[in-house]
Structure 1
């Protein structure tokens, strides 16, 4: 039996039976039912009134309490909400400025806007399609959650509404984020499909109810494979499941028809939430894997971006207190890993760990000198204790003294190799021993573009040699440990624009000459390396080992 066609008396009886069977209501709605059921069998008028009052207290306080327990909107959005409520919409219609009689009650309120903003955050939506904008309160709320470069495309029938919202969008700083298309929504959706534009991560339907089925059908062609469709008003004051309330109510009949239509669609799965007037969340089911290969289903049933995830992994980064190491830490943490920040300077390590914690990333700070074997073993042990394991190790700590060969002191030579080469080997050794006993892992060593050419005009023979040894060490370990499920790779950045260069009196004057040597005519930023380190640490690079990944803007080509 289709839920929307249940007889009201049957529904009421089921509710009564549930109450009598469990006698333990959980939800506000179950509490209301409990009080009303008891009121039906109450012996006197006073008892009946008291029970009805309790039901009213639960029902009447719910929306207000939810409003109170929801983060309020920013000032710009609050101003738009206020203007939407006091605007003379009837006057606009009577002056022939709108095609339809618009009412302030049709405007999405604060709560609906906060809900859609949170849904954008949860789905990490970058592109949103809104069908039915009206006063733009939900439009602006969703724009708050869109990352830089994202877009909210709002379909609106009334030019008047576009003109009404435009100054508010501009004042809030969303003039370039929000694009309003005026015209019948179905026609606008057909136009979007014909343009073969980038697909949307989230589609929000809140327009004329009679058009819901057509909007939904078009939306399925406009969302990404993991996209979400959110449909408003799908409970329509409760009428879709109360037959006698449907009589002569065209909108309620349209909603009931739509609900049954999507419920019968085998391509999707959905959930209807009793939020305000009902919101239904819809997603496409993944195609059946039966008879398909891993290219179709995704390796291990994971789509390509899912294979980039580091969720559940524990990572360690030496030299993580600043510069490249700090960038690596943030990248791995954002990809889902738990992160141990290792640095000689405990305060710097703690600062980065605190940064990650502020983003909701589990992290810990560890003090260690990678030139000391005792420190390295303690580093691994602490990481395992604090993070529950070690799956990814980034050996990034290093030094560069920049001295001419004829002037290099042996103490400088020994110190450079002690940190850059011996230290990396001892880290790999301690990390590898743990990984061998615990199912494997991934080790990534930081080498340098100097392993491919001789950087100039700066003099750094010892540094170049120490990093060249790291590449050969990486290749050798990759071969020795491949059958132990341990991948060993290295990353070789070009000249990176870090504080070392920005604050150095000797290096800063060389920047102009370096730029002439780089085809891209800019130094690397630490952010340029972040995606690369996530790729190397993730299952997406599962067949890559012994590789030196070079990111130097083409400098080694000239």
Structure 2
């Protein structure tokens, strides 16, 4: 048995097969210079396209390049003979550079969140798909060979996108049946597995609704070296299976399809629009079509938006910065502590989010004006501002010093006012903006048994400030809202000295636990997005029900 990793790789795509045939014909021609010239030109065209595609397509990421190199150098035939792998895997099974970039583009263009891959091999396709997904996207990859999960994971772990990939080891048909039983649906499904199984995979996907409405099914290798449209005598078992598959899909009224001659052929399949059903729809308004043609989920996206978050160097502000970035915004991380701000900036950049860090004291008007000017200078606009920086100094009312009162009011109220004023001026010039101020559950109730007069009063002031600006500026396109978190779980709460207080606080929370900073992220994205355009002056409490008792 030949070694599939030998330096001589057999022709794989239709053009490679054609070029190979032409070269053999050229070798047989003698004495006819004109025919030789024509053959040479035909060989040049047939053999040059695949190579040209490789050169002109965006080069793969370092993680994909490393995976490609490992796959090409792995001794697959020896692994099979030693019993390390279950099958004698040909290296040509790897999804190539061009196909990988096509898959990445498909995932991005479809704005896919959930992807199913049937047939993973060494994971090149899975990682390419993952690179095209948002940070919270998921790729479920089906692979029958246990060794390949370990092989691929080594490269997945070197990529920031690898954590999006979950490998299901086992027979592909059994896996997709189980996924269908769980009523799972996928925005994008990619099939690149055993060719004789394609038809059953397709039937399961369509019959059992694994492909989400509006989703795309991508099937690789459907031209199979040109066999599917060649002569019957040239077809092997795989060629016959793929010809039958292509014919079945073409005649299925439930789907629409287009076949792209990318390398060895990619078939794109979607659910067919039923003209008869569309005609039955009487009302095609914004609810049906989506406001401005956007679905609700699209309206929650922040792509192309610029945001700033004060107090973003830690805690709630850091969580806000990550949430806005994950939703598509570019984020200015603002904090009085330069090192903290820069650390969060680096975190965002490591996730593919555009970010800058700005040092600013929000109690200082010059700093606040500079902060807003810097964001606009860097990115041309300011669409979203989260005024989150604050302090909490506790003391009994009779013991509250003027210094404590002034310090709390300066940061929590004066600072928010200065930020809102500078941000609002910039946003009114552009006719649109979202300002979200961090208030507190203390604006709604008097938390106990701790005593915090200045803090409670400052946060109540933030809410009234928010309500006033929210009504005053809405006709200028600027919405101003507030978020009032409950008690957030931080290391401070677990301090032994605070344990008696923590136990009392928990008794006052119907949810039975403290808030996590991640509990606040969905709210900040909603208030920052166009999905909340009709909201202004609202104080959104996220406190596990504590303000109700």
Shorter-chain TM-score above 0.5: yes
Aligned residue in 2 for 1:252: 239
Aligned residue in 2 for 1:371: 363
Q: Within 5 Å, give how 1:65-214 maps onto structure 2.
A: 71-72=64-65, 82=75, 86-88=79-81, 104-105=89-90, 108-109=93-94, 111=96, 122=108, 128-131=115-118, 137-138=122-123, 145=130, 152=140, 154=142, 177-180=166-169, 182=171, 185=173, 193=180, 195=181, 197-207=183-193, 209=195, 212-214=198-200
Aligned residue in 2 for 1:218: 204
Q: Is the 8 A contact 1:108 1:138 kept in 2?
A: no
> How many residue pairs were aligned?
504
Q: Does 1:230 align with 2:224?
A: no
Q: Is the 8 A contact 2:71 2:91 kept in 1?
A: no
Cα distance in 2 for residues equivalent to 1:170 and 1:32: 36
Q: Does 1:325 align with 2:309?
A: no
Q: Is the 8 A contact 1:448 1:467 kept in 2?
A: yes
1:448 Cα deviation after fit: 0.3
Cα distance in 2 for residues equivalent to 1:332 and 1:260: 46
Q: Does 1:537 align with 2:528?
A: yes
Task: Identify which of 399, 406, 422 aligns with 1:430.
Answer: 422
Cα distance in 1 for residues equivalent to 2:152 and 2:548: 47
Q: Does 1:282 align with 2:284?
A: no
Q: Is the 8 A contact 2:222 2:242 kept in 1?
A: yes
CA, structure 1 residues 398+106, in 2 after alignment: closer, same or farther (shift >3 Å)? closer
Q: Within 5 Å, give how 1:267-416 maps onto structure 2.
A: 267-268=255-256, 270=258, 272-275=260-263, 277-284=264-271, 291-416=283-408
Q: Is the 8 A contact 1:120 1:142 kept in 2?
A: no
Cα distance in 2 for residues equivalent to 1:120 and 1:78: 24
CA, structure 1 residues 332+107, in 2 after alignment: closer, same or farther (shift >3 Å)? same
TM-score under structure 1 length normalisation: 0.74
| Gap runs ≥5 in structure 1 | 1-27, 93-97, 156-160
Cα distance in 2 for residues equivalent to 1:72 and 1:357: 21
Which has the larger displacement, 358-367 or 119-128?
119-128
SS in 1 for 2:394: coil
Cα distance in 2 for residues equivalent to 1:166 and 1:389: 45
- Kindly provide the CA deviation profile for residues 415-437 of structure 1, in whole angstroms up to 9, marking residues without a partner as x: 21122112212222222222222
1:358 Cα deviation after fit: 2.3
1:403 Cα deviation after fit: 1.8
Cα distance in 1 for residues equivalent to 2:447 and 2:499: 15
Q: Is the 8 A contact 2:129 2:139 kept in 1?
A: no
CA, structure 1 residues 64+346, in 2 after alignment: closer, same or farther (shift >3 Å)? closer
Task: Identify which of 427, 443, 455 aligns with 2:447.
Answer: 455
TM-score under structure 2 length normalisation: 0.75
1:444 Cα deviation after fit: 0.6
- Kindly provide the CA deviation profile for residues 326-345 of structure 1, in whole angstroms up to 9, marking residues without a partner as x: 11111101111111222222
CA, structure 1 residues 188+464, in 2 after alignment: closer, same or farther (shift >3 Å)? closer
Aligned residue in 1 for 2:11: none
- Kindly provide the CA deviation profile for residues 453-506 of structure 1, in whole angstroms up to 9, marking residues without a partner as x: 22223221100000011111212222222222221110011112346656x786
CA, structure 1 residues 205+467, in 2 after alignment: closer, same or farther (shift >3 Å)? same
Q: Does 1:469 align with 2:455?
A: no
Which has the larger displacement, 461-470 or 220-229?
220-229
Cα distance in 2 for residues equivalent to 1:427 and 1:239: 67
Cα distance in 2 for residues equivalent to 1:321 and 1:165: 41
Aligned residue in 1 for 2:12: none
CA, structure 1 residues 398+64, in 2 after alignment: closer, same or farther (shift >3 Å)? closer
Task: Identify which of 478, 501, 504 aligns with 1:486.
Answer: 478
- Kindly provide the CA deviation profile for residues 161-200 of structure 1, in whole angstroms up to 9, marking residues without a partner as x: 56777988999999x95445659x4x8766754x352223
Cα distance in 2 for residues equivalent to 1:120 and 1:500: 46
1:247 Cα deviation after fit: 5.6
Aligned residue in 2 for 1:17: none
